[in-house]
Amino acid sequence: MALAPAAGKVEDYLLKTFGLKIEIKPLSGISLPFYLSGLFSLGTAEIKGSKLLLCTLASEEKPSPAQFRKYAVELHDRTGLEPAFVLPGLSSWDRARLIEGRIAFIVPGRQLYLPTLLIDLREHFDRERGKPDRLSYPAQFLVVMEILYGRVEGKTVRELSREFSFSATTMSRAVREMLALDLVETGEGKARPLHFALNKRKLWTTARKYLQSPVKSIWYTSSNSPLLSLPYAGMSALARLSMMNEDERQCYAVSYATAKTLIEKGIFHPRPLKDKDHLIEVWAYDPHALSGKDSSTVDPLSLYLSLASENDERVRKALEGLVKELL
C-alpha cells in the first residue's frame, strides 16, 4: 500500500520541531478489513524506541472522536502497534475529546499528541517559541547575572527559581525567551540544564538590543530619610564608578516590592518637596541581587541600561568605559 503524501509532512514536522529523524514505511504483512484499509493509509515508524502505526485519513469522511477511539482499539488489536491518527486539522472540541480519550494524533506543522511517548504539543508552538522583541525583566536578570558572575550556567529552571526567588513558571518563560534568541542551549532529559555557547562579551553584544532600562518609575524622599541600605544609582552611581561629576540630587535604586511599602507609608512621594530631596529609581528587579549587598552602587550593566538614553556624550563615554572594563 502506498503511503499518503501527509507521511512526508509528518517526517518533516518531527525533524524540524523535535530534531527527530524518522522514516515512515508502508504497513505490510497484515490483512485488514476494507472499512479500515479504505479509510486510512497505514504506515509504521519508530520514535524513541516505540513503534507507531501512523493512520492517515485516506477519504473525505471524518470520524468522530468516539469513532476514532473505536478504530484505535481495533487497529491496536489487529496490528499490535500503537495507532496515531494523522489529520489535516482539528477543531478545539475534537482535540479536547481525543486528548481526553488518550487517542494519539498528529496535525503536521501545528500540533501533536503522543501520550505513549509523553509528548504533548498544542497549537501555535512556533508562535510561543518565536523571537521576542525584547527580553522580559526576569530573562534580562538572568543574562546580566550570567555575564557578571556566571551563576546561571549549568542550572535548571527549578534551581534558578530557588536561587533567585522567581516562580518556576516565570523562570521557565524567561528560559524560553533566551532559547528563542539563541542566547542559551538546553541539554537532554527532564532536568535540562542551561548552557551558554557565547562568552560574556558576545552574550552582551548579542543580547544588548533586547535589553531595557530596569527603571520602572521615579519617586522622591527627604534627604533625612535613612537610605544607607540602598545602592547608589543613576548619576550618583556613575560618579562613583568613573570620573563623572555627581549631580546635586543623590539617586538610589530600590526594588518594586520594597518601594511599595515605603510609598504606602508616605516615605516616598511622586514629586520633590525640597531641592535636595533624594531621587529614588524603582527597579523591575532587586538591584541588590545583582550588585551584592556589600556594594555601594548598582551593578554596571544595569546602570548602563538605566542611562542608555542619555544624550550627554560624556555620560555615554563613561558608560562605554565601564562596560569595556568589565568585559
Spell out the domains of the chain, with CATH numbers in brackets: 6-125 (3.40.1350), 137-210 (1.10.10.10), 215-326 (no CATH)
The reported pLDDT for the residue numbered 122 is 45
Tell me which of 10-24, 67-81, 117-131, 272-286 is least confident.
117-131
Name the average pLDDT for the chain: 86
Q: Distance between CA 189 and CA 89 in Å, rounded?
A: 30
Torsion angle (degrees, nearest 10) of CA 82, 88, 93, 96 = 30
Copy the grid coordinates of residue 32: 485488514
Return the half-sphere exposure (C-beta side, CA atoms, 13 A cut-off) of residue 125: 16
The reported pLDDT for the residue numbered 4 is 60
pLDDT-based confidence at 215, cuts 50/70/90?
very high
pLDDT-based confidence at 326, cuts 50/70/90?
very high
Please name the amino acid found at residue 144: V
Cα 208–chain centre separation: 17
SS3 string, 157-197, reads HHHHHHHHCCCHHHHHHHHHHHHHCCCCEECCCCCCCEECC
In the predicted structure, residue 327 carries a pLDDT above the cut 80: yes
Distances, alpha carbon 44 to alpha carbons 5, 25, 41, 84, 301, in Å: 14, 5, 10, 10, 54
Q: Which among 281, 279, 300 has a CA at the least distance from the CA of 291?
A: 300
Query: Is the distance from CB of 302 to CB of 290 less than 8 angstroms?
Result: yes
